[in-house]
Structure formats: structure tokens, C-alpha cells
Amino acid sequence: MTGSVSENKSPLLLISGASQGIGAAIAREFSRQKPAMRLALVARNADKLEQVAAQCSGSARVEIYPCDVSDAAAVQRLGQQLQRDMGAVDVLINNAGSWHGEPVADMAVEDFDRIIASNLRSVFLMCRQFLPAMLERESGDIFNMASTAGLEGYAGVSAYCAAKHGVLGFAKALREEMRGKNIRVCSVSPGPTWSPSWENSGIAEQALMPAEDVARAFWHLYAMDRNVVTEDIVLRPQQGHISS
């Protein structure tokens, strides 16, 4: 899918988990900015990715890549295909993830492993795949989607809390590795944000943060002078903690 703006030398932005929620909002937000960027939208659901891509007409170019980013082999294939199609990634937004609510005593091992893989293993795999080219160019940006669940503990959400605590720890270590290499590493920790997953929760949409505002935060962090690294940012709804 090709946009109406010339893609010549436009930065390439890869967003995982781009098929809905905050990931889709990030794609739309960056597609509106100038100069135009190229977008690579990644998620498991190709149909939803197509819908989001159609909303990003301001981009220099938009392509979709159905992929499970918690699968090492799939991420390697993604990297090879993306290199052939669009070249090296300039900005990596690790947004993919999933949520599971269940007490520790009742949780299946498979569910715990799935949440860790979706939220944490995926971040490692994507960074490992796309970081070498950034190091070679001595330039790049990596944004990791964390959560206020990575700063606190919520009853019944142990796997998700563990994964997001892990994302923050991983990002801190990676940031130290990247110091002096012109590669910025930022973690964004939103509180409850409206997405389709909240539709049957009984929580009013007005009590949650709009995904569009979280997406705007990503853009403003990226648009800062390259000498400015926002290491961690926390966004919360006005009423604070919300539980379903």
C-alpha cells in the first residue's frame, strides 16, 4: 500500500500490536506528522491491520506484516522480509501484548507463559532483530510499551504485572548498553486506556484514557531533540487506579 507522499529517505517506523487500541492510534498519529514517515504495521490479524493501514493515508508508505512477535522464527522472517521490502527500521515501537486476569493459585502454567511471551519475550525478540542495523547506522529509537502494572502489583493480574516489570527492567539495561550510541530507549507506562478489550468490563469509556492521547505522547517523545532521552513516562487517568 503506497501513500500519496514521496517515500524518498523517509524514516521507517515499525509498530507491533498495530491492529487495534493504542498501537492503531500510534499508527494514525505518526501518519499525520510532517515530514511523512513510512510505516510497517505488525500484528497477528491481517484484516485489522488492513483497516488501520487505510487510516494512515498521510504516510509516505504503509505496509502490513502479519506476525506473532513472540515467535522467534516468525520475527526472523519478519526482519528479512521487511529489509527486502522497506529497508532498515529507524523507529521500533514494541507495543504488542496481551492481558490475563486470574489468581496465581488458579492460573495455568500455559497462561502464565503466554502472557510473559506476548508482553516481554516479544520485546527482546524484536530488539534483537532490529537493533543491529541501528547500531551499524549509529542512530535509532526504541519505544517499549510498559504499564503502570510494571510499577505496582495488582491482585489477580500477576502474570501481566510480572511481564511489565520485566519490560521496564529490560529497557533500563538496554538503555545502558546504548548510551553514547545515538540510540534512544524509552519506556511508556500508561494506566487504563480505552481499547476493545474493555468493552465488556463494566467500566465507562469516559473513566479511561483515550488511546489517541497515549499515542500523542509517543509522538512528542520521538519529536524531541536527539540529545533528549525521556527514559520513562507514566500516564494515568484522573481518577487513578481502575480495576474491573
Residues with catalytic roles: 160
Amino acid at 144: N
Q: Tell me the CA end-to-end span of the chain in Å, nearest whole number.
A: 39
Partners of 10 in beta bridges: none
Is the CB of residue 86 less than 8 Å from the CB of residue 40? yes
Other Cβ atoms within 10 Å of 132 Cβ, number? 12
Type and span of the H or E element at 137: helix 122-137
Q: Which residue matches cell numbers 514517515?
A: 37
The SS3 assignment for 58 reads coil
